[in-house]
Amino acid sequence: MSEKRDYYEVLGLAQDCSSDEIKRAYRQAALKNHPDRNPGDAAAESRFKEATEAYSVLSDDSKRSAYDRFGHAGLGSGADYSNVGVNDILNHFQDMFADFFGGFGGGQQRGRRSNRGQDVRVGAELSLAAAMKGGKHEVTVRGPAPCETCNGSGAKPGTSASKCGQCRGSGQVTAQRGFIMFSSPCARCRGTGVAIESPCSTCSGAGAVERQRRVLVTFPAGIDSGQRLRVPGQGMPGPEGAEPGDLYVDVELTPDANFERHGNDLATRVRVSFATATLGNEVQVTLPDDNVVRADIPAGTQPGTVLTVQGRGMPRLDRSGRGDLHIVVNVAVPAKLSKKAKKLIQELDDELGQSDG
């Protein structure tokens, strides 16, 4: 077990600091390492616990006095926060956090966030044309929706839910361990705070039924495979009127018969005649969004030549312009020739003085 750091060192304070300095230092440390700002960061969570433990001692005159005289040994085991859950710390100090952060990370606010509906993740296939144009498209979401029989209350029509007698409507039960109050969801009402004596027969008291619905999602022009969109409030409904979760849409582009996408660039192939490749001309390319691009074929263009038209590829998501269009030129060689055509080509070959090899 590692040795505890000095509490004054944890908060970056001198031993003769004032109570206002202690409060100010802890506020900065808690804001920086708060779990809501560092999700999944175990090191930040550990620093948050350490700073809270230090503040709980130094902000209390009697505990601070004992600590100044005897160090950690003067506090006993009650001041050790290393094995205390973050939620328990937040619930215990919820008034202080509300005062510090205006509700950020406070017990009541955090409870509302934890009771929100679940997020939903679905996939959506888009054509290259749809991704290039952008716009609104429907996606299908299947999951719980408010029960129409009981209007989402979970109670049989004509009856209503009542306040849970075990937790008195709070949804939480508490138990004290040392000077810390530990909270957990009420087992009787499953944390909802209400008891349903006569459940709705349609939803069995859940307040929601499985249903398929369609959500209109706006896809920005230039979206690509592997990217994800967040649609706030279109996930699963929250219990007892709590806010719903969010909908996450994973995008996948279907292959296009005429174009390949490479980042924000597009590539396509055009076939031109031998005469066009030799003498030069103009070709037209119709993009997936139906716009037409004209490109010059220089005289003497060789098969496999790549012509680049700048700014005519896919729109950039940051709206800073578009990628480029790359046109690969293929020269069409006729498979069958008339006698006259053969004679003319032979005459041309003689005129050019070209030979094989």
Confidence at residue 297, expressed as pLDDT on a 0 to 100 scale: 95
Give the residue-averaged pLDDT of 6-33. Answer: 90
Tokens 């008339």 locate to 338
Q: Residue 100: its pLDDT value, please? A: 52
Q: In this predicted model, which residue has the larger pLDDT, 150 or 87?
A: 150
Same domain, 213 and 277: no
pTM beyond cutoff 0.75: no
Worst-scoring range by mean pLDDT, 204-208, 254-258, 307-311?
204-208
In a domain, 33, yes or no: yes
Which residues form the domain of 277? Answer: 260-352
* Lowest mean pLDDT, pick from 49-63, 103-117, 164-178, 220-234: 103-117
Number of folded domains that form the chain: 3
According to the model, what pLDDT value does residue 32 have? 86
* Phi-psi category of residue 268: left, alpha or beta, with phi > 0 → left and psi -120 to 50 → alpha: beta
124 plus 248 within the same structural domain: yes
Residue carrying structure tokens 């000095």: 6
- 110 with 134, same domain? no
272: Cβ contacts below 8 Å, ≥ 6 apart: 281, 283, 297, 301, 329, 330, 331, 332
Mind listing the pLDDT tens digit for each residue in 236-291? 777 656 788 889 999 999 999 999 999 999 999 999 998 999 999 999 999 999 99
Pick the residue with more confidence: 297 or 40? 297
322 secondary structure, DSSP code: B
Pair (125, 16) in one structural domain? no
- What pLDDT score does 126 carry? 96
User: What's residue 315's pLDDT?
Assistant: 96
Sign of the alpha-carbon dihedral angle for 126, 129, 133, 138? negative
| Residue 313: pLDDT over 90 | yes
Residue 78: count other Cβ atoms within 10 Å of its Cβ: 13
Q: What does the block give as tokens for 81?
A: 């926060």
Query: Can you tell me the distance from the alpha carbon of 166 to that of 180, in angstroms, rounded to the nearest whole number?
Result: 21
Are residues 244 and 342 part of one domain?
no
61 and 82 both lie in a single domain: yes
Domain boundary among 209, 227, 253: 253
Q: Do 274 and 203 fall into the same domain?
A: no
Given a cut of 60, whether residue 135 has pLDDT beyond it is: yes
Tell me what the mean pLDDT of segment 215-233 comes to: 93
User: pLDDT at residue 169 above 80?
Assistant: no
**b/e 238-257 (16+ beta carbons within 10 angstroms → b):** bbbebebbbbbbebebeebe
CB atoms near residue 311 (< 10 Å): 9
Q: What is the pLDDT at residue 262? A: 95
pLDDT of residue 230: 92
Q: Does residue 111 have a pLDDT over 50?
A: no
d(CA 357, CA 353): 13
Residues 6+ apart with CB under 8 A from 301: 272, 277, 280, 329, 331
Output the domain CATH number for residue 310. Answer: 2.60.260.20
Residues 292 and 342 in one domain: yes
Sign of CA dihedral 34, 37, 39, 44: negative
pLDDT band at 101 (very low <50, low <70, confident <90, very high): very low
CA–CA dist 205, 190 (Å, integer): 12
What's the pLDDT score for residue 240?
Answer: 57
In a domain, 44, yes or no: yes
Query: Strands 247-253 and 120-126, how do they pair?
Result: parallel
Residue at 40 is within a domain: yes
Please check the confidence at residue 103 and state whether its pLDDT lies above 50.
no
Q: How many angstroms from the chain centroid is the CA of residue 51?
A: 30
Instruction: Give the pLDDT mean for 145-165.
Output: 82
SS3 state at 353: coil
What is the reported pLDDT for 155? 85
In this prediction, residues 204-233 reach a mean pLDDT of: 89
Give yes or no: residues 138 and 245 share one domain. yes
